[in-house]
Amino acid sequence: MTQLTVSQAVLSRRSVRAFTSQTVPLEVLHRVMDKARWTPSGCNYQPWEATILTGAPLAELQQKMLVSPIQNPPEYSWSDPDVIPECKARLAQVGASMYQAMGIGRSDADARSDFVHNNVMSFNAPAVLLCYFDRRMGSPQWSDVGMWLQTIMLLLREEGLDTCPQEFLSMHAKLIKEFIDVSDETHIFFCGIAIGYRDEDAAVNGFERQREPVEANVRFVGF
């Protein structure tokens, strides 16, 4: 396999929502995680923590989530930007493109419910990273964790793997923490990352994505 450049890893990474059954070797995951620990963090706090599940333990957790109601109150709010028109429009656009690719109409409640089920199952990915950290960490450390997760996803692309970050799993945060023996009192659960090999034939993995042009979000001054 030809090794990807950083640019190729960035541009070929996408949130994959259909995986093959091919297993992910432990040595590959360990190699990626060993490299990712060099991600920068403010004051070198290295706030990130994770558990990676596969096989029977992953299946057991997923079955528990399937038969459990979502957590109330939520672990944290991830949808506040919906009140910003530009953000709401971006969400609507990607949702419409995704459902259109799968041939699911607005009124097809059963198909949309099945997609939520697939989300709980991490789209049948053979491995799932569960990310959490100490509740004493503040907003700067959340940012550091985000850089760590992005580093992991790009390193996985280098290895020929694909991912889907899943804030959705925070809807079962307490259940997940109990299952992996992490204290709810001391730790907040952030997200999961589905890890595996993309199903190249799945339409949901091929719809056209959109991003704002550089000029919409970045200013260059003094050049």
**Domain containing residue 142: CATH number:** 3.40.109.10
Which of the pair, 48 or 101, is modelled with greater confidence?
Answer: 48
Residue 160 lies in a domain: yes
CA angle 184, 187, 192 (to 5 degrees): 95
**pLDDT digit string, tens, across residues 107-117:** 888 877 887 88
* Average pLDDT of the chain to the nearest whole number: 95
Residue 190 lies in a domain: yes
* Cα–Cα distance measured from residue 151 to residue 148, given in angstroms and rounded to the nearest whole number: 5
- The two beta strands, 162-166 and 187-196, are antiparallel
Closest CA to 46 of 56, 36, 54: 36
Residue 82 lies in a domain: no
Quote the domain boundaries for residue 67.
6-71+121-206
Structural element, H or E, at residue 132: strand 127-134
Name the residue with tokens 């709010």.
77
**pLDDT digit string, tens, across residues 175-215:** 999 999 999 999 999 999 999 999 999 999 999 999 999 99
Residue 154 lies in a domain: yes
pTM for this prediction: 0.95
Half-sphere exposure (CA, 13 Å, Cβ side) for 93?
11
What is the total residue count of the chain?
Answer: 223
Domain count, the chain: 1
